[in-house]
Each structure stands twice: as C-alpha cells, then as structure tokens.
C-alpha cells in the first residue's frame, strides 16, 4: 500500500471533482453545498443514540456503533468536499464501506449463512469475523486502487436493499412496510442523483443546478439511517424469545415523517424521551 504523502493531503489532490463549482462561496471550502449537505450525518445520530438507549440495553450496543459510524461518514465526507484532497476522498469512501460491512456483520440473515454456521450458537460471531476480514482487505484495496472504491460501494448497496426487501416481505406492520418502501425509493433516488452529477454534469450545470451530489448526501442519509432502524427492528422481531419490537416516530408518533426508532413492547409502560412521555400500546 503506498504511503500517504503530503501531496495526498494537499487541496485538489483527489482526481475526483464533483459538478459543483469550486470556491464560489468561501475561499476556504472547495464545494460549499457538498460540504454542508453532510450536516444530517452529524446532527441526527446523537438523537438516534438517545432514542435507542432502551433498545441497546436489551438487544446489544451494536446499533450505537452504526450511529457513530454514520457520524464518521459525515465528518469524512465534509472534509473531502471542503478540500478535494485524495486523503479526504479515501477517508470518505472507506468510512462508507465500514458502515455497510458493520451492518452486514450484525444483521445479515442467518438463513443465508453457510450451512455449518446456520444453526451454530457462534455462527453470527464467525460471520462477523469473516465480514471484518473482508472489510480489512477491501480497505487495503481501496487505498491501493482508489478508482475501484465507488464501484465497490455501489455494488454493496444493492444487496443491502435486496435484504431489506426480503425482510419486508415477511413484515405485517403497516408502518414498517411504509418506512421500508420509502427507504428503498430514497436509495434509488439517491443513486440517480449520484449518477447524474457524475455523468451528466454539463447538463445540470447548464441549467444552473450543479448540486445533485449534495442531494445525494441528504437522500442517502435518510435511506441509510432508516435502513438501520428497520434492520434493528427485524433483528428484535426474529428473536423468538425476545421482546416485541414496535416502530415509533419522534417527536410525535402520528407524524410518520418524523424520526423513526424502535421501542420494545411493554404494555402499559411509558418511555420518556427528552422529558416527554411517549406512550404506546400493543396492537394485535
């Protein structure tokens, strides 16, 4: 793996330059919209950590790792678009890789494991080791051949959505189905924005809207955090001896465009969120 040199840290050292014009708003920030469109990655996960504290106590702290990794993605992406440095590009791409692979390690369906791991009590642990090893190899490959990173990440995004679709086929909760469909639509729209910004920049710049990569950041965050919530829901639901998961929305459950989160069913009990009691009832 080539060592990171000072040249790789320099502004503009990345071979990738997105459609947005550089240094038009600030002399210190290369792509202003692409930089600040990462703000959701940084401000929303702390709220999700708070909302999922009861879930994490019952089902494991792994979900908090996903929220922290999303923050890392936002910070690395903002650094990349602010500097357009090769180091920033690599940090951005590798951070996304780790989010996806961490999700696979925790929530990939056991039915799809190798047969000798499927019914093994430590099958999940072995699969996690496999994911970790593959992540390290892909990380090294990403540093040695940065040109393949975008291809790898887009390729990994497709099975993530297919796994989500597979889980949704077995769901019977209208809120879960609605959020799942919305997540897939957002991901598809995000990919369309990414491709258009990369391939059809001249057209979008010609009509005065070279900001589709910024739209990608917003849309892919909305799809990503919703996917994490849904996979956490399915994990709890698939545990035969575990508590019943219920999908709720913050700050008001009646507002389904709010922030989704998972609570564990305790009939007649209230969960306190930011000083407000959020009550729920089990539905048959």
H helix count then E strand count, the chain: 12, 4
Examine residue 225 and state whether it is found in any structural domain, yes or no: yes
Structure tokens at 86: 């090769």
- Does residue 202 register a pLDDT over 80? yes
Per-residue confidence (pLDDT) for residue 7, from 0 to 100? 62
Asked if residue 52 belongs to a domain, the reply is yes
- 251, part of any domain: yes
Total number of domains in the chain = 1
Q: Is residue 4 part of a domain?
A: no
Mean pLDDT of the chain: 87
Rounded to two decimals, what is the model's pTM? Answer: 0.87
Q: Which of the pair, 144 or 216, is modelled with greater confidence? A: 216
- Residue reference for tokens 């992406």: 77
**How high is the pLDDT of residue 272?**
46
Q: Is residue 61 part of a domain?
A: yes
Closest Cα to residue 84, out of 144, 19, 133, 149?
A: 19
CA distances in angstroms from 234 to 108, 180, 216, 243, 244, listed in the order given: 11, 11, 26, 12, 10
Strands 259-264 and 245-250: antiparallel
Mean pLDDT of 112-121: 78
CB of 264 closer than 8 Å to CB of 246: yes
23: in domain: yes
CATH value at residue 269: 1.20.1070
Domain that holds residue 27: 14-279
């Amino acid at each position: 793996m080539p060592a990171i040199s000072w040249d790789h840290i320099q502004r503009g050292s990345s071979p990738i330059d997105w459609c947005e014009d550089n240094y038009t708003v600030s002399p210190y920030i290369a792509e202003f919209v692409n930089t600040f469109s990462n703000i959701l990655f940084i401000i929303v996960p702390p709220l999700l950590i708070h909302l999922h504290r009861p879930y994490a106590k019952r089902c494991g702290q792994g979900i908090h790792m996903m929220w922290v990794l999303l923050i890392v993605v936002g910070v690395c992406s903002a650094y990349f678009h602010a500097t357009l440095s090769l180091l920033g590009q690599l940090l951005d791409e590798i951070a996304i890789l780790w989010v996806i692979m961490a999700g696979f390690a925790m929530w990939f369906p056991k039915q799809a494991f190798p047969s000798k791991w499927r019914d093994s009590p430590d099958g999940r642990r072995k699969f996690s080791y496999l994911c970790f090893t593959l992540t390290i190899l892909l990380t090294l490959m990403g540093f040695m051949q940065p040109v393949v990173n975008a291809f790898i990440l887009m390729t990994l995004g497709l099975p993530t959505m297919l796994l989500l679709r597979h889980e949704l086929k077995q769901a019977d909760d209208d809120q879960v189905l609605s959020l799942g469909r919305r997540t897939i639509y957002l991901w598809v729209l995000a990919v369309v924005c990414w491709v258009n910004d990369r391939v059809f920049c001249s057209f979008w710049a010609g009509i005065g809207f070279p900001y589709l990569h910024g739209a990608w950041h917003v849309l892919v965050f909305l799809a990503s955090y919703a996917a994490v919530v849904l996979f956490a829901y399915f994990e709890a639901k698939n545990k035969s001896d575990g508590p019943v998961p219920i999908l709720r929305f913050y700050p008001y459950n009646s507002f389904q465009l709010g922030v989704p989160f998972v609570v564990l069913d305790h009939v007649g009990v209230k969960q306190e969120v930011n000083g407000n009691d959020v009550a729920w009832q089990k539905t048959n």
